[in-house]
Amino acid sequence: MVSRNARDGEITHDVGIHVSISGKIDLSVDRAIEIGCRGAFQIFTCSPRRWNASPLDQKEVEAFREKATKNEYRIFAHMPYLPNLSSPDPNFYSESIKVLTREITRCDDLGVKNLVLHFGSHMNTSIESGKKRIVEACKRSISETKQSKVRMLLENSADAKSVGARFETIAAVLKELDDDKRTGVCLDTCHAFASGYDLRTPEAVKTTLENLDSTIGIRNLYLIHFNDSKGPLGSASDRHEHVGKGEIGLSGMSAVLNSGLLNNLPVVLETPSEEGIGKRDIAIVKKLIGSA
């Protein structure tokens, strides 16, 4: 699906946004079409603010898969908010792993190939111990879903003091998991900026992406969460802003899109969802691609 109409060397990205599954899950595809998503978008498979998930309705699943295929969408799912895969609390940690395994299974049912997950918080323990817990959590879920082809995409964190903020730590987790078929990385631009990686100018973007490539490896990236930042550089503030309206700014966001290093990677916006704004943001991103 990526670069299906691209010529050699042409800057191209599938562009989407996080879309609601309200009503019926297959309606998310209809909404993605209406908003203007091209080739990709993201969903939750259930309410993101509850531990439990209602069973998927088989008719809705069939409609979802049919619509996604017909409209050539690669759909990404995101883990709910409540689980903490780095938690030092044994019960909370165990329940979090159960949700991860459940979401992998739901993705399989829906034909969704990638599941984005947060590193979570190591609470009052060390980053190293938090790292060990998320590695173990991912290994356990992989072991419990051996027939699955769903790839878990680890999303970088916003706070430089948290477990998934530094590229070196993410690279170490990938190395310990040692499973190229089931793991990868989602780069969130707001989170990277908030944790201290500058993205405001073409020069800063080049430096940051070269850093990422030398640690994590661009080859391990499968998705860009394309969000501007309400907070300044290094603020540890996970507050997304509309494209070009935040502290990264239009020049920096354009430089990210038009970097040859990230060419062909799908971008999904998670910007505030005021009425009509999502469609506008997607249109802006489409115009920026190839404009630098």
Asked if 122 is an active-site residue, the reply is no
Q: Which of 122, 191, 228, 247 is catalytic?
A: 191
Asked if 18 is an active-site residue, the reply is no
Q: Which of 78, 102, 106, 242 is catalytic?
A: 78
Q: Which of 188, 228, 247, 281 is catalytic?
A: 188
Q: Phi and psi dihedrals of 266, rounded to 5?
A: -70, 145
Q: Which of 238, 241, 247, 281 is catalytic?
A: 238
Residue 145: Cβ-neighbour burial (10 angstroms; 0-12, 13-18, 19+): buried
Q: Which of 166, 240, 242, 281 is catalytic?
A: 240
Q: Which of 38, 118, 166, 242 is catalytic?
A: 118
Q: Which of 225, 228, 241, 242 is catalytic?
A: 225
Q: Which of 14, 26, 103, 155 is catalytic?
A: 155
Asked if 49 is an active-site residue, the reply is yes
Asked if 240 is an active-site residue, the reply is yes
- The residue whose two tokens read 């239009």 is 250
| Cα–Cα distance measured from residue 9 to residue 89, given in angstroms and rounded to the nearest whole number | 49
Asked if 78 is an active-site residue, the reply is yes
Neighbours of 286 (CB within 10 A): 15
Asked if 13 is an active-site residue, the reply is no
Spatial neighbors of 154 by CB under 8 A, at least 6 apart, are: 117, 119, 134, 164, 170, 173, 174, 183, 184, 185, 186
Q: Which of 4, 8, 49, 274 is catalytic?
A: 49
8 A C-beta contact, residue 159 and residue 122: no
Asked if 242 is an active-site residue, the reply is no
Q: Which of 50, 62, 81, 219 is catalytic?
A: 81
SS3 label, residue 235: coil
Asked if 197 is an active-site residue, the reply is no
One-letter amino acid identity for 198?
D
Asked if 225 is an active-site residue, the reply is yes
Q: Which of 176, 239, 270, 280 is catalytic?
A: 270
Asked if 73 is an active-site residue, the reply is no
Report the catalytic residues.
Answer: 49, 78, 81, 118, 155, 188, 191, 225, 238, 240, 270
